[in-house]
Amino acid sequence: MNKRLFFKMSLATLSVLALFSQSVLAEENIHFSSCKEAWANGYSDFHKGDPGYSAKLDRDHDGVACELKNAPKGAFKAKQETTTQTDTSSSTTSGWVKQDGAWYYFDGNGNPVKNAWKGSYYLKADGKMAQSEWIYDSSYQAWYYLKSDGSYAYSTWQGNYYLKSDGKMAKGEWVYDSSYQAWYYLTSDGSYAYSTWQGNYYLKSDGKMAVNEWVDGGRYYVDTTGLWKANSKVSNKGSYYSLQGKYDEIVVANKHYPMSKDYYPGENATAKAAFLKLIEQMKEEGYAISDNYSGFRSYATQAQLYQSYVNQEGQAAADRYSARPGYSEHQTGLAFDVIGTDGQLVEDAGAAQWLLDHAPDYGFVVRYPRGKESITGYMHEEWHLRYIGKEAKDIAASGLTLEEYYGFDGGDYLD
């Protein structure tokens, strides 16, 4: 449902309606022995607490009795027009009366009922039954929407607004719409929130609360309950961040987790040895791979490289493929770029597929795969390998990025 395509009632309009609404006087004298009798008299959908409701009539015990949707064909009879008697000797007019195309309700003394409910119907200040409009009930301090047949809407949407099971418009609260199997948050003016956070929960562009997915441009992950919480797995080691993997400590470096200027681990010896074996195997299989490669970079080196890219193409473009100083995986000493004999980073389709298939055998994963930019924060790089160790095979088999596999935040920079 694209609720935004519906008519959007503004607060200003609702406020004007409130000027014409007064306290509601509940009708207490509606009693039916059966739903058949209620339907035959033009009544339906009695909510618990409403005049006419009884547990006897609410057979499915859902808080609503004599639902119109359950009425057999022909059982519901529209309110019948009553002829007004002018002869004082005749009986007093009472009940529902249709005059000039509008419905009115007259009490036992022949007086029109005003500013009051008759079952599921509302009589306005002029006595007319409300139809296809909003009314404000000051006694309940709530807005209601009266449908074209005059009955109040409930458990449904009217434009950007939600009417709860008691007919009240939801405001400043969460509601669950079973039709769409989703939670929504209704703001203080009653309209549903979208593309925003409500506490630690995220409302998507259609208003649905996100669950078990990456949100807000791929920067955060919410669990199966919709909750985002600061990742307790990632620890701040002072100069870098890490988490405990299945076998080893995993250094975490992306646009959310930087390293200090002084973090200078150098090239990891184990990772370097594994990388040299990898490129040697590629050469043996006929790939044009150079003995040269790009490995460890200090904070200062990365700062110079990044600034050169910014000068050439601008910061927005540079941020897609080059890390700002302190955020580069190369500073961990665990990242290596594969270079071809032509001196260029390897982009050959065959070599790229080989790396996807066989890099895990050497403890590496392709860190920035195609189609994952919103999660990793960088465009795909077939040549960029990150050393993980034994767990690399599990990660590759999952088809997930490190962010997805370990469950830590990714995406673009926070500033």
What CA–CA distance (Å, rounded) separates 375 from 218? Answer: 5
DSSP assigned state of 40: H
Phi-psi region of 207 (alpha: psi -120 to 50; beta: other; left: phi over 0): left
What CA–CA distance (Å, rounded) separates 239 from 258? Answer: 8
Element spanning 96, H or E: strand 95-99
**Are the C-beta atoms of 341 and 291 separated by less than 8 Å?**
no
Measured CA distances, 294 to 96, 309, 337, 354 (Å) = 86, 17, 5, 19
- Sequence-distant (≥ 6) Cβ neighbours of residue 372 within 8 angstroms: 380, 401
Element spanning 310, H or E: helix 299-313
Pull the structure tokens for residue 101.
Answer: 């195309």
> Number of C-alpha atoms within 13 angstroms, CB side, residue 278?
30
The residues assigned a catalytic role are 381
Residue identified by tokens 């959908």 is 45
Smallest CA-to-CA distance from 356 within 310, 300, 404, 399 is with 399
Pull the structure tokens for residue 329.
Answer: 């995986």
Pull the structure tokens for residue 29.
Answer: 């004298």
> Number of C-alpha atoms within 13 angstroms, CB side, residue 215?
26
DSSP assigned state of 19: H
What CA–CA distance (Å, rounded) separates 369 from 379? Answer: 8
- Sequence-distant (≥ 6) Cβ neighbours of residue 313 within 8 angstroms: none
